[in-house]
Chain A
């Protein structure tokens, strides 16, 4: 199982000091956090994509390329890449390039975005959100698999004899996750292609996440990619830890109360009770995270949101130390217990190359047997 962090990339005032970092400080903090993720033994770093203040990550592959050059093992991903408003041709090119530079340590999570005006800013119509996600991805999927593509569709100018360069590393495209909070169409899309399905999980009650994941698993099996239990599931999570849980509660409360997404709403106690948020000791984080399996089944990737709501870099790095030293080693051990042998790990470049080669060999043997 993979463990990592995902970031929104918000520039938010620290409510305890009244200070707002500059964009430059925030960008440097994000990259420092990514390097720290590798240092403490995490597997994945994923960045969001936004095109409006107060967010900085408008250019994810640039940032991930920088991180790739300074890391050895970390898988670089997104949370999410806007399949609706980006040109699928540019996504194909950017991520193939990143894949080469990062030695294959790349996957990508598709999402529709949640900021209405981004659609018109990029020349699209938000009412076409789902159709855009479907058509653009269908094209992207071909661009990574076919050397020469003739294509026409509803939303993008047609392509005749187009080759997206560079070709994917080893001719194996990056693994794709599809992220959605509430659209069954996206769970269906992920299932159709045999891609991964990621549920953000952190703003909604567990029973909602459970329904979406179950739908994806059922449809994954329907399309013949494996059993429902073999579908590739990722979940978000959100934690704030201190050795002593009371210290965590006291320190995090002003950040919670003023958080851009849910601040000035429910109490931290209500929110932790109703959603996967954990504010407490590493042991409490372990217990709550292990319980995700009860409603999502054995899954492949767990990403935590650690660096939002104005938390200072120093605090985030301390959180990552706790995550890497005290939480993730226990989670790895506990999640492995009782996990059926035929539940796969999250696909990596190496595993996808091996699968491709195994299939090719199988084909040759069949051919020889004739």
Chain B
């Protein structure tokens, strides 16, 4: 078996060269002499561009070179003998560099000092690249050190004409000069004589690509439509023939030159149809031809589109919508999708009857099957006609491609797939409707919302793929984020506020509690205390593991204590349940495992939502009402701030304001005003926080951490605050003022974007205008930043893509080179820590 062992080799170097005319002739199987494609019978002309010696694209024909049929023959090159040489556009710059660097008469590399023979041998050959060569281009007047010939300045007239001292150098002359270069001198120009002779860049022969890479397509009307490359080649051959004829007939030099230039144009656009100085060659319809460079280049080119881009079968895509009654590791799919996507199931003597049921139902009834694969690999579509026969034929070894059903494995994905949680394995649930359904709690890892987002679903087709997806990619395996070591999936919005209300305020009759628990999927009510009314804490405790103990803190820092699966103190909020927080979730995960944690999380989530359905949660206008006292103190704060600002402005005008070190007086004033106004807004916020009714729903939403913060409350109730554009108060607009309703050089708060009203009270027109300004600015900012950060991330991900942590905790790349001596500097696996920290104290305590 030794010959089957893999052989490891390292690529040391890759060398690129230019194909030589000799090789072109050698590898070609045809010499193309006529631009005609087909004769009257529609058969390819011998010596034409569709000559069947270059491969076949018609079914039934055989290749004259290799004798194989369509698809078997990979095609063969042909060649055209150009009547006059032309410059290869890709080498135009290199040719210029070389021409400037060598003697016009003897072809020696200019500027080298003449040294005795032995010295030259010892001297290390100084390899110059083409750029360096052009930088040292000799000026007019320099003489060759070897033959003493005077040198002239050579310029290029883009794209392909060279001029020496005002006279044009024809490609023939260019070629003869390049021919004079000796092989020994080539390394000095950065060229390898084994694979690259400079004169090969001036084409005398043109290789004609095989027809297989430029197939013609037959239109419905029976007409043939040729590939762009064939069109271009036809132009080249036609002009080339005309040039030949004119030369042989001894036509005047001008006509020959014109045709020569035309040939140069056609050959250039054959290689690259986007040369800046040339008009692109077009179809009759006016659309530019896609020639060789365009085929390879850019996003739609061969590399990024065909080689790096992949497409899949057994996948589906549609809009997503929420369904909190699904498990977190489930995905709801429409029946229509379920009837298109299939799972191959191999028939054995044990599952024959099971599989026959699917075939009986066929492709139109759910759950049926679409195809049957025979052991020889032949696929048979199940239809009303073939159904009976396939049923009879089915035996062990056959494969039935049955519709996907509840419990099948799938991989669910949302682009951009920025981290590994962007693709997770979900179990199928076939549901009515036309959208993919997912539990809103798994929106966080996908970064999904339901404003029209679409997601992709893939069905693994082999046993190995399914096992791998289930073991490595199932939602519960992705619970703890490797970025910060906390649960990335948690409760959000309603689930947080619901549990907050339940565990903080509520107590309900036991009957209702049982119903509540039953509705979220709990069926064991033993742990509910035997009382007439039970508290919300007791209800919540039922879903916790019986021996779970935990101490933590709420958002505001109050203690939370859970002992033996019962909440003893505190209540639930974002700090313990939220996505990316959830220390309680983290502890459940650690002590009871991922599956249990996911199950509990799903129950907590549903419990929160269900609680709100019973209790109700809404935002009333009166929620943001301030007390009379509160109103007065806000007004006082505002008036005080205004006074301070006015004082500052007066001081400034009276030159009494002292500048901060390193700042101008104007800057100091701005800073001081900003500080004063921000302080006023913050103080108003504090007043709001103190005076507003805590039992009101808007407050509950904010306090539980479900949505919003104190500032947004203050903006609704008291003061919106200063609008800032690029870190400064508003200043742009009219000359020396923001809006024409203010006086020039007015520095007062309201003239510079301070919104002193609340959203509830309503904004003045100019306040509204300032808000629109900042709103537009932030909109622009996000719109411009998103693609930038996306590209930055892509570069990072690509550069780090195959780094791995070795067994000795070093981080190494694919060639085992060390990147870090200890992973992350501290060797901590973040996904096994609590928020990136290993709590040693806790570990010691838990082992006691």
Do these two chains really belong together in a complex?
A: no
Residues of A at the B interface (CB closer than 8 Å) are: none
